[in-house]
Amino acid sequence: MKNLGTKSVGTFHPLEYKLRMPLLFEEQTRVVRRCLFDVHNEVGVGYPEEAYHVAFLICCAKRGIAVVSKQAGQLYHRDQRVHTFQYDALALEEVLLELKSLPGGFAQENFFQIISYLKFWRKSLGLLVNFGQDRVEVERVPFEPKPLVVREDYEHVRSLLTKSARAVLRPMRAGILTVAKQHGLGYGENVCSKLLAVEWRHLGLTTRRGLFSTVRFEETNVGDFPVDAMLVADQILCCISALKDDIGPYELGKAQAYLRALGLPVGLTVNFGKRALHIRGVRAPQ
């Protein structure tokens, strides 16, 4: 049999390929970034966010850069207003900006915030800007809607589900899927929690937030502290996260600690994640 051999086509370097790809709205962001740098150089460090915001608007006006400031929009579900979004600035009709003055640098919540804005305003590129350090920080944050992927795991709680718990879990699951199908992925934890509360009430399920549980160490009462979760139909505790890769050890551990403190046998962890909707049943620790 004839040996066909192999043909060399050169070495593929992913980073080199990435560098050759054109940046999204490259020309627009170049103009806007120049204005951001000039504002930081002129104003200096140590002022509140509003000072840089106003200076940026003045700079854009002088340079002929079209910009809209602090436009607000309402998110509705089941004809109820769920949340109000307000971006800092929209430049050249395409680039959404969130301006900060943070001496410690960006936090994860800042990225979650601008991603939620991009999703709501249907924009594909945001600039997260920090004037709070000796050099202005500008982070490009792209956003692209993703098809809904659902990953569910109830194996850990299946044997603990009573008839009444199953009667609650079925509409809970239906409500989660409805919210995910109608609104997709991309909103932060607070918005997702509000959407679920509205949908569950529409399905006839009571919801309770503002819960407290008693923390104890051995026989000593440490105190009563807030629970970052929602109690549905007084039976199933639901811990909600968003924009995470998956439901990790922290989310699972938090749910188990709350279940133990509140004396509940089962709960759900729900993550409206970066690429998928995750639903997982959680049982109280033995």
Tell me the pLDDT tens digit for each residue of 65-112: 999 999 999 999 999 999 999 999 999 999 999 999 999 999 999 999
Nearest to 173 by CA among 153, 194, 159, 189: 153
174 with 273, same domain: the answer is: yes
* Average pLDDT across the chain, whole number: 91
192 with 274, same domain: the answer is: yes
175 with 90, same domain: the answer is: no
Q: Residue 28: what pLDDT?
A: 83
The angle formed by the CA atoms of residues 181, 183 and 184, to the nearest 5 degrees, is 65
114 with 156, same domain: the answer is: no
In a domain, 4, yes or no: no
Where is the domain boundary, 83, 110, 142? 142
33 with 120, same domain: the answer is: yes
105 with 213, same domain: the answer is: no
Domain limits for position 67: 22-142
Distance between start and end Cα atoms, the chain: 65
Q: How far is CA 199 from the centre of its chain?
A: 19
Where is the domain boundary, 142, 160, 189? 142
3-state secondary structure of 259: helix
CB atoms within 10 A of CB 18: 8
- DSSP symbols for 18-76: HHHSPPTTHHHHHHHHHHHHHHHHHH-SS--HHHHHHHHHHHHHHHT--EEES-EEEEE
Domain count along the chain: 2
In a domain, 278, yes or no: yes
Q: Residue 26: what pLDDT?
A: 82
pLDDT tens digits along 26-38: 888 899 999 999 9
DSSP single-letter state for residue 232: E
124 with 223, same domain: the answer is: no
Q: What's 98's domain CATH number?
A: 3.40.1350
In a domain, 173, yes or no: yes
133 with 242, same domain: the answer is: no
- DSSP symbols for 129-192: EE-SSSS-EEEEEE-------EEEE-TTTGGG--HHHHHHHHHHHHHHHHHHHHH-S---HHHH
135 with 233, same domain: the answer is: no
207 with 159, same domain: the answer is: yes
Tokens 């603990």, residue located = 160
In a domain, 86, yes or no: yes
130 with 217, same domain: the answer is: no
137 with 161, same domain: the answer is: no
Where is the domain boundary, 142, 171, 197? 142
pTM: 0.87
